[in-house]
Structure 1
């Protein structure tokens, strides 16, 4: 686990900062290669290369062979061009890599002993973890080299990235597909099969090192939310929801943490509108005492993405506690999460989990909506979709994908509850936390919100 030394050092620093109640001042050191901040420690871009490449090596060595066997593929081709990279491409190449460099061909050849030989046919060789099978010639020679390699290997099933269902598994462009067909030995076109099963399993499965690093990544996101939902950022009667959203975005940028969507911040308040059949409740504007706040943020760090939604209450002058109705509403949201995650069973599809959760929430009298999804190399990653915000019925397609062990999910959805303090008006509690399914249980990677953030 030497590859995680830098990541685990950052995790220790994070714990120390939190224990000191945000007393750590922001600092950086070229020799240490990290930013130490009140929300945690973040490696500088240069120092992310070693752990990211170590994780890639581990995945290629330990994970890819078993997944190629599972998909019954003898050869897997990932072919990409500069500015038109296959979605899976950057999960397979060492850093620092910014493009496919003209036409890049990755070949994964499953051996008789189950291991996978990793080859590249590329104008610019990668080096480790790939062995160069050809380099340096023109494009025609490159395609000829690929055809000759395939003929020599004589694979029965050749996986290519084409898919009707999964966008991430449909990365082989039409032009490259046509060139591949022309380069194949006669009759080999019948050996081409969609590699979508392998692509989805590759993207959804987390390695041991990724599972060790992921809690720190999620903790960074949650730490910035806690900071944003405080008097350090919000002055009731002055601060606009957009101010908070941009604060969150700029804090992530200052830490060198890319976002994969613009942070969202909105409020609900007494006298507002939150219809029972409305998919979402919330407005934008100047924040006032008594408001209920919500945010939705997503970052990616060490190639691992998060998706997080949390709630806050803006206390009125002299108010010591969050109103009981809101405390109960959040507890109901946690109860919905428990019902959902209790239905996670290996082999069940996203649709089956959705149907079971809806039945249980209805029996419990909880007005809930479930729309959870996998996360990983992408914020909206492939794997079993467990409902959609605009479709609470079981649907064919991604909802039919089965649950596998060592996969990560955004436990996402909402509940509505009538508040006595708001004369029976509904409040919507929108929650989302990143969690690992280990094959038996669901584990929140950096905890979950069970108490309100309070702006005093």
Structure 2
């Protein structure tokens, strides 16, 4: 049984990164598109000037290429292009040089989109990168031969552009200090999307004078992603409504005695009445405690048809219980675990607010959880050697997607994630567990409830943009 629990923990950890299930709930994609364009405009107008001043950055250059996954592609509107943000007084000028996606042009968020013109007939090698389909539309038949390649034109014009603005500090998208956790480097968690090839070509184009002014953009990017604007919160509300509706539909699809776990794509785990964790080919039965998962944690900007919210995320776990004949409520031990979970949530709500570092808040939460009669544990694994009468509580309340997990209220990851201050309206996952000892199920056994829903840390405390999961859905056996 313990080996099975370890396997289950591994599967649960992996499942949180799976793409969200396809949904039949109707979404207005045009509304989402307009909202995401508004987010770009608000972030560029309100957040970026503050951060460039804070980190003394005069120009931020973000270089992205097709096929080289960069988490900011979902925020800027294209997976390719040379994005240049220049601080000019209290406003940031935003420009894109060279090829970029149509979404960038349609967003209305950029001041300058500079693409070289080319004439027909195409008698000379075009001095820029351009999609073949556009080349053909304009009369091109085949790329002319010659000694040059597209490497000769990737940054054409950037040197003049930079010199005209004469920045003293130029931030570029590579990492120096803010690395990902050991053994856990993922594309969605990094801010160093520029390739070595692009770095060398960029330095050659802007010249030695400006190359010496290059610094890492890691702090700027990290905080740019962490700070939220009003339009983002509006998107989170819409997102959670979509998640909530789909989870409700999935609960309604469960027919005890007929439906298999594998028929409900959002199933995270199911615990039977004797504590046995069910397999995908098992059938839902009376006495089952069900956890469904909706949404996506991060990385799903790569699948826009399945996840239409770009590089913005939310996840929610909801619980249900199948009532056996004659029963009207959940069993006492499940009720105790749920009660403990709500009390722990209240502790977190009362002691989490923006303005402190994640590490300072984390230390406060550990003390308050222990003071309330629970046992805080660092690992997300039940410890059978601790007091069998007390509920164990681990935490991992990290930032919600968008390429990074920082700031992080929990023990995992590098220390710099806890050193970050929680910004106003910090969007984080309310992720915690309660482990209730269950000796009646066998030696070392326990009931585990995990929670993972989005919330905001404000100067006044925790606020929700959508009601959190505060009840267990009761399902009648037919």
Same fold by TM-score, threshold 0.5 exceeded? Answer: yes
Q: Is the 8 A contact 2:59 2:87 kept in 1?
A: yes
State the superposition RMSD in angstroms. 2.7
Residue equivalent to 1:278: none
Residue equivalent to 1:341: 349
Q: How does 1:46-57 map to 2 (within 5 A)?
A: 46-57=30-41
Q: Is the 8 A contact 2:291 2:320 kept in 1?
A: yes
User: In structure 1, which of residues 216, 219, 223 is the aligned counterpart of residue 245 of structure 2?
Assistant: 223
- TM-score (normalizing by structure 1): 0.75
Q: Is the 8 A contact 2:354 2:426 kept in 1?
A: no
Residue equivalent to 2:418: 399
- TM-score (normalizing by structure 2): 0.72
Paired residues, what number? 378
Structure 2: runs of 5 or more not aligned:
1-22, 118-126, 129-149, 180-188, 297-306, 375-391
Structure 1: runs of 5 or more not aligned:
1-35, 249-263, 274-280
Q: Secondary structure at the match of 2:421?
A: coil
User: In structure 2, which of residues 389, 407, 410 is the aligned counterpart of residue 384 of structure 1?
Assistant: 407
User: In structure 1, which of residues 246, 252, 267 is the aligned counterpart of residue 270 of structure 2?
Assistant: 267
Q: Secondary structure at the match of 2:409?
A: coil
Q: How does 1:110-189 map to 2 (within 5 A)?
A: 110-111=87-88, 113-123=89-99, 126-127=104-105, 128-130=108-110, 131-136=112-117, 137-138=127-128, 139=150, 140-163=152-175, 164-166=177-179, 167-189=189-211
Q: Secondary structure at the match of 2:93?
A: strand
Q: Is the 8 A contact 1:76 1:109 kept in 2?
A: yes
Cα 1:420–1:226, aligned 2, differ >3 Å: closer, same or farther? farther
Cα offset for 1:326?
1.8
1:185-224 CA-partner distances (Å, limit 9, x unpaired): 2232221111111111111222112223322311221222
Distance 1:298 1:316 in 2: 30
Q: How does 1:51-450 map to 2 (within 5 A)?
A: 51-93=35-77, 99-100=79-80, 104-111=81-88, 113-123=89-99, 126-127=104-105, 128-130=108-110, 131-136=112-117, 137-138=127-128, 139=150, 140-163=152-175, 164-166=177-179, 167-229=189-251, 232-245=252-265, 248=266, 264-272=267-275, 284=280, 285-299=282-296, 300-303=307-310, 304-366=312-374, 367-375=392-400, 377=402, 381-387=404-410, 391=412, 396-418=415-437, 426-450=446-470
Cα offset for 1:46?
4.3
Q: Is the 8 A contact 2:61 2:171 kept in 1?
A: yes
Cα 1:186–1:420, aligned 2, differ >3 Å: closer, same or farther? closer
1:121-179 CA-partner distances (Å, limit 9, x unpaired): 11468544331345243343452411122122111110011114254311112221121
Structure number with higher relative contact order (C-alpha < 8 Å, ≥ 6 residues apart): 2
